[in-house]
Structure 1
Amino acid sequence: MGYRLGRLIDHVGLRVDDFPAVQQFYLAVFEALGRACEVHDADDELSLDELYIGPRLGGGGVTANLHLCFQAPDRETVARIHAAGMAAGGRDNGGPGLRDYHPGYYAAFLLDPAGNNLEVKVDERVTGRSAEAVDVTTGS
């Protein structure tokens, strides 16, 4: 196989029409999550981990009706992100609370300014992780 890191998705890119509004929303969400993102030229793109958000490229399309789910460490963070997203131009799509997907599934949902559905959740059944993240190095 050669290059398996234990995940299916390598990266996700969102392309939007109103990048300043979407950028403001995600900057607030990332700050509430306690994660710093990279801003690549204020009007160009922002990224965090393998999520890239930027304006529509040329005559290309925009990302519409995408569902993203971010992991949070606890219920308080879920609520903080929901409030921050609402204050930064998001629309409520399901306030913080337990969901009936399985016991301990606590989540909130927001529509970003482009209409994509952002879920933030904590799975309270998870009591530990083998690693917080995986750092990958590559050769030149």
Structure 2
Amino acid sequence: METMQLHRGRLVDHIHLVVRDLDASRRFYQAVLDALEVPIGGDGDGFFWADELFVSSAESPAAQGTLTGRVHLAFQARDEAMVEAFHRAALAAGGRDNGAPGLRPYHPGYYGAFVLDPDGNNIEAVHHGPAKRSAASVEVTFEG
């Protein structure tokens, strides 16, 4: 595995998801990451990784035989179109809709979409853009 530079000032160094079905997760995350223009960094027996995301099977030595609990993971998107591409790709790759692309009331310009991955993790793509429209009338619902 290639060693990356240490970047001080980041809150999170990496995230490790331990999944039931590594092949299903690989298909899902490959599609999602392609839509976000993030390449898979590498893989090995029982795992794959991209940037700071590490995904493995429970049989992987790093997992110690335990699946992770439900996680909410948000990826940054360049623009609203990338959020929409993420949502389409995730659904086509077996994800379940958990919030269609749209403005959210979290702060002005927050444009996001939510899907559940094969393990039920809440995966989001978000673009923090300028406040062009009012999000006050946007109704946000989450399943699960």
Aligned identity (percent) is: 46
Structure 2 equivalent of residue 35 of structure 1: 38
Q: Which runs of 5+ in 2 are unaligned?
A: 1-5, 132-144
Letter in 1 for 2:56: G
Structure 2 equivalent of residue 90 of structure 1: 95
Q: State whether structure 2 residue 86 is matched by structure 1 residue 81.
A: yes
Structure 2 equivalent of residue 46 of structure 1: 48
Query: What is the aligned counterpart of 2:12 among 9, 17, 35?
Result: 9
Between structures 1 and 2, the one with greater helix share:
1
Letter in 1 for 2:49: S
Provide the TM-score with structure 1 as the length reference: 0.82
Provide the TM-score with structure 2 as the length reference: 0.79
Please give the alpha-carbon distance, in whole angstroms, between the structure 2 residues aligned to 1:95 and 1:6.
32
Please give the alpha-carbon distance, in whole angstroms, between the structure 1 residues aligned to 2:7 and 2:95.
36
Greater shift in the superposed pair: 51-60 or 20-29? 51-60
Aligned residues: 123
Is the 1:64–1:115 Cα contact (8 Å) retained in structure 2? no
Q: Which runs of 5+ in 1 are unaligned?
A: 127-140
RMSD, aligned α-carbons: 1.8
Q: CA deviation at 1:125?
A: 3.7
Structure 1 equivalent of residue 136 of structure 2: none
Is the 1:64–1:114 Cα contact (8 Å) retained in structure 2? no
Structure 1 residues 32 and 4: CA distance shift in structure 2, 3 A: closer
Structure 2 equivalent of residue 19 of structure 1: 22
Structure 1 equivalent of residue 75 of structure 2: 70
Please give the alpha-carbon distance, in whole angstroms, between the structure 1 residues aligned to 2:113 and 2:9.
27
> Following superposition, which runs of at least 4 residues in structure 1 exceed 6 angstroms of deviation?
none
Q: CA deviation at 1:4?
A: 6.7
